[in-house]
């Protein structure tokens, strides 16, 4: 079988980036990575691991704050890659592409640990069930290790055999960034042009810095009750839309449109005729904004849709998932199979099985977690189920749009129902259910993160087992700091207050209390299940549609714009010209993601420091206040950024 590749072992200088097959639907076993499997270079080095650990801790702390503040976290792989290249190549004058890949693999674990903890653990704090540092560390460490281990047997199917069908936009974008950094020249400049513009855009827009325009402008449509349309004017979402393409972006957009243009007006129209609040809200419908209706009603519908879409996705993939596990444990030995090419070596299946059993045993016996054997079994089952689903979701729409909280809600619903049926209610039952949900949430986040990392490694020619081992290191080191940050923030600001509302954890609290106190709005959850089922009957993927239904519509709008741009490009161009234009778009879009995310971390650190450092308390932000027509300015600047991306894309010509 003849393999087509980018790097000739004898002439590496002729490399011109990722091969077009990086974007083509094909059997990944026929794809030749940027670095040939036969080519050896420094990869899992001490400096790469140390740098990854440091960056992972920084991103874990920053994302813990962001998750508690706004209910969202920022992806870390691309920013870590850019920072790594700047340090290894710019300062230390060294570092191979595979070393940089290890840095981003280790460093990105911090974001997934932070998301898993801050979306769940604060629910315990708000219910006055104060967990200690040791409990938070074990939840983070065991959940992260479990998520990574359960993803390892799925790599050969989801990453390799489904190559092209699952684009893994952030993993692919990170691969382009690494290749651009390796080659330098115009590609590297394209990445850093996007990086600089993304950071500048974020700084000028953010209300904690300059605040020149609104982050989420919106308008209320007349003649339709409480019908509101807006968009998150973040350049990163524009870049993500271009990377994932028009089809998936359209499915997400359709789900959001159904929620905000149909369901919210219907609920508002019929709810305003009531003489008392409609459960689960305690506020009269006439006093609720469209955002309040989405938060109190649509998110339950979205959670049901995501749960159904996840079940369908797993059922469809179940035969191949079983085959993947069989391939992984073939031979059942603890040593890495040296007969396979370097780029196909995973950690052995025996290690995955024994490690999973050990984690389940620790979850059962550790007194701080207060779980029995059934609780430990539920953790493993839910994590295995949603690890596959999470990898598929990030493969479709990227890690930034992974509905971790929706999957966690589904896990909490199942756990709480089982515990309630067995009579395990009250505070002890709620504590156990939330611990199960927290470990599963961390596992889901880690599985999604390592999926993107393994896709990046697959494209650039990394050694999978070295990445997987690096992820273990990243999980354990990030777990040491994230729980401490959450407890510190609770002491300083009180989680659940206006300063740290913890929106995702608040929803988890409502779900557990709703089931165990028997007041959950099942009609809304089952409505979401029915909607997703109808979508599947039309032979349309329900999972990306459900993701759009669950997430705010404003997030889907800029993704749709980027996806349309990619679609128009693919209609207008073909061949080498399309390849060059698409590469430019992915590189520039990845730079936008990296610039916004990196600057967002700096802003988070600044905001946190303002509460602790005396001389920073006197700094009043935003620096520009009461800007007239800020919504229109936001629209104009976003259109300008869209035009810049289009110019970068259409300027691409194949180098002769």
What's the DSSP call for residue 373? H
At residue 37, the 3 state secondary structure works out as coil
Residue 655: per-residue pLDDT: 40
Q: How many CA atoms lie within 13 A of 279 on its CB side?
A: 8
CB-based contact 436:442 (threshold 8 Å): no
Q: What is the per-residue DSSP string for 415-472?
A: HHHHHHHTT--HHHHHHHHHHHHHHHHHHHHHHHHHHHHHHHHHHHT--HHHHHHHHH
Task: Please give the pLDDT value at position 324.
Answer: 55
Task: Report the pLDDT averaged over residues 2-7.
Answer: 36
Q: Which pLDDT value is given to residue 24?
A: 83
Q: Do the beta carbons of residue 346 and residue 328 sit within 8 Å? A: yes
- Predicted local confidence at residue 11, as pLDDT: 38
pLDDT the model gives residue 529: 92
The per-residue pLDDT for range 538-567, each reduced to its tens digit, is: 988 888 898 888 878 888 899 899 999 999
Average pLDDT over residues 430-447: 94
Straight-line distance from the first to the last Cα atom of the chain, in angstroms, rounded to the nearest whole number: 29
Q: What is the mean pLDDT of residues 41-65?
A: 88
Model confidence pLDDT, tens digit, residues 214-237? 888 878 777 778 888 888 888 878
Q: Which pLDDT does position 336 carry in this prediction?
A: 58
- Give pLDDT tens digits for 611-655: 777 777 777 777 777 788 888 899 999 999 999 999 988 885 544
**What is the pLDDT, as a whole number, of residue 16?**
53
- Per-residue pLDDT band at 15 (split at 50, 70, 90): very low
DSSP 8-state assignment for residue 159: I
pLDDT band at 8 (very low <50, low <70, confident <90, very high): very low
The chain-wide mean pLDDT, for the chain, equals 83
Q: Which residues pair with 166 in a beta bridge?
A: 163
Q: What is the pLDDT of residue 185?
A: 57
Q: How confident is the model at residue 10 (pLDDT cuts 50, 70, 90)?
A: very low
Residue 29 burial (CB count, 10 A): 12
Q: Convert 105-146 into a string of H (helix), E (strand) and C (coil).
A: HHHCHHHHHHHHHHCCHHHHHHCCCCCCHHHHHHHHHHHHHH
Two structure tokens written together for 195:
């990086």
450 band by pLDDT with thresholds 50, 70 and 90: very high
Q: Which pLDDT does position 353 carry in this prediction? A: 87
Condensed to tens digits (0 to 9), the pLDDT of residues 298-338 reads: 988 987 888 788 778 767 766 655 665 565 555 445 555 66
Give the separation between CA 219 and CA 112, rounded to whole angstroms. Answer: 34
Torsion sign, CA atoms 606, 612, 613, 617: positive
Which residue has tokens 């519908």? 301
Mean pLDDT of 508-536: 87
Q: How much of the chain, in percent, has pLDDT values that exceed 90?
A: 28
The interaxial angle of helices 246-257 and 553-572, nearest 10 deg, is 150
Does 195 or 2 have the greater pLDDT score? 195
- Among 127-131, 367-371, 413-417, 623-627, the minimum mean pLDDT is found in 623-627
Mean pLDDT of 494-510: 76
Q: What is the pLDDT of residue 9?
A: 41
CA angle 290, 306, 596 (to 5 degrees): 65
In the predicted model, what is the mean pLDDT of residues 104-113?
Answer: 91
Distance of CA 58 to the CA centre of its chain: 17
Q: Which of 47-51, 335-339, 509-513, 646-650 shows the lowest mean pLDDT across its residues? A: 335-339
The mean pLDDT value for 484-497 works out to 79
Of 452-456, 497-501, 631-635, the range with the lowest mean pLDDT is 497-501
CA-to-CA separations, 362 to 356, 377, 416, 503, in angstroms, rounded: 10, 11, 21, 30
In this predicted structure, the answer to whether residue 14 has a pLDDT above a threshold of 70 is: no
Cα four-point dihedral sign 54, 56, 57, 63: positive
pLDDT grade for 255, boundaries at 50, 70 and 90: very high
What is the average per-residue pLDDT within 121-131?
A: 90
Residue environment code for 498-530, b if the CB has 16+ CB neighbours within 10 A, otherwise e: eebbbbbbbbbbbbbbbbbeeebbeebbebbbe
Residue range 189-206, pLDDT digits in tens: 777 788 889 889 988 998
Q: Summarize the confidence of residues 69-96 as an average pLDDT.
A: 76
């Amino acid at each position: 079988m003849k393999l087509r590749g980018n790097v000739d072992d004898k002439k590496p200088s002729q490399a011109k980036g990722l091969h077009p097959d990086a974007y083509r639907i094909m059997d990944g076993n026929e794809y030749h990575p940027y670095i040939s499997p036969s080519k050896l270079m420094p990869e899992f080095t001490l400096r790469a691991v140390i740098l990854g650990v440091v960056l992972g801790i920084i991103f874990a702390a920053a994302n813990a704050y962001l998750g508690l503040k706004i209910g969202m976290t920022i992806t870390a792989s691309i920013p870590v890659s850019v920072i790594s290249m700047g340090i290894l190549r710019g300062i230390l004058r060294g570092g191979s592409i595979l070393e940089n890949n290890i840095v981003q693999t280790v460093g990105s674990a911090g974001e997934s640990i932070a998301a898993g903890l801050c979306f769940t653990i604060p629910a315990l704090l708000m219910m006055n069930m104060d967990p200690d540092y040791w409990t938070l560390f074990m939840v983070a460490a065991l959940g992260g290790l479990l998520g990574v281990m359960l993803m390892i047997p799925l790599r050969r199917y989801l990453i390799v055999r489904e190559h092209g069908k699952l684009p893994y936009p952030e993993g692919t974008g990170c691969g382009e960034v690494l290749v651009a950094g390796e080659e330098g020249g115009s590609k590297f400049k394209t990445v850093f042009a996007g990086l600089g513009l993304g950071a500048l855009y974020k700084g000028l827009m953010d209300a904690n810095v300059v605040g020149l325009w609104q982050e989420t402008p919106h308008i209320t449509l007349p003649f339709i009750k409480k019908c509101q349309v807006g968009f998150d004017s973040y350049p990163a979402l524009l870049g993500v839309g271009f990377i994932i393409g028009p089809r998936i972006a359209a499915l997400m957009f359709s789900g959001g449109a159904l929620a905000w243009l149909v369901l919210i007006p219907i609920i508002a129209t019929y709810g305003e005729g009531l003489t008392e609040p409609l459960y689960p809200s305690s506020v009269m419908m006439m006093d609720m904004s469209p955002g309040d209706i989405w938060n109190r009603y649509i998110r339950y519908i979205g959670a049901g849709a995501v749960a159904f879409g996840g079940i369908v996705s797993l059922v469809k993939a179940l035969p191949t998932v079983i085959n993947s596990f069989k391939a992984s444990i073939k031979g059942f030995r603890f040593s890495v199979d040296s007969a396979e090419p370097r780029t196909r070596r995973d950690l052995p299946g025996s290690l995955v099985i024994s490690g999973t059993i050990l984690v389940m045993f620790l979850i059962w016996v550790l007194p701080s977690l207060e779980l029995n054997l059934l609780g430990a079994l539920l953790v493993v089952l839910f994590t295995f189920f949603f690890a596959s689903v999470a990898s598929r979701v990030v493969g479709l729409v990227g890690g930034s749009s992974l509905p971790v909280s929706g999957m966690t809600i589904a896990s909490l619903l199942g756990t709480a129902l089982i515990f309630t049926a067995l009579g395990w209610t009250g505070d002890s039952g709620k504590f156990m259910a939330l611990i199960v949900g927290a470990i599963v949430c961390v596992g889901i986040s880690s599985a999604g993160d390592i999926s993107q990392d393994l896709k990046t490694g697959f494209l650039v020619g990394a050694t999978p087992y070295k990445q997987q081992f690096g992820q273990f290191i990243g999980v354990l080191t990030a777990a040491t700091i994230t729980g401490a940050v959450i407890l510190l923030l609770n002491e300083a600001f009180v989680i659940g207050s206006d300063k740290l509302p913890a929106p995702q954890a608040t929803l988890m609290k409502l779900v557990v209390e709703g089931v165990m106190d028997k007041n959950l709005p099942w009609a809304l959850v089952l409505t979401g299940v029915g909607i997703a089922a109808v979508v599947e009957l039309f032979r349309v993927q329900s999972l990306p549609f459900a993701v759009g239904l669950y997430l705010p519509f404003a997030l889907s709008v800029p993704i749709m714009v980027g996806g349309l741009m990619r679609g128009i490009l693919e209609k207008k161009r073909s061949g080498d010209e399309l390849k060059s234009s698409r590469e430019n778009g992915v590189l520039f879009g990845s730079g936008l993601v990296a610039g916004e995310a990196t600057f967002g971390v700096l802003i988070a650190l600044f905001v946190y420091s303002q509460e602790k450092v005396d001389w920073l308390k006197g700094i009043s932000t935003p620096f520009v206040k009461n800007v007239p027509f800020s919504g229109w300015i936001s629209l104009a600047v976003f259109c300008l950024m869209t035009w810049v991306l289009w110019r970068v894309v259409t300027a691409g010509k194949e180098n002769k």
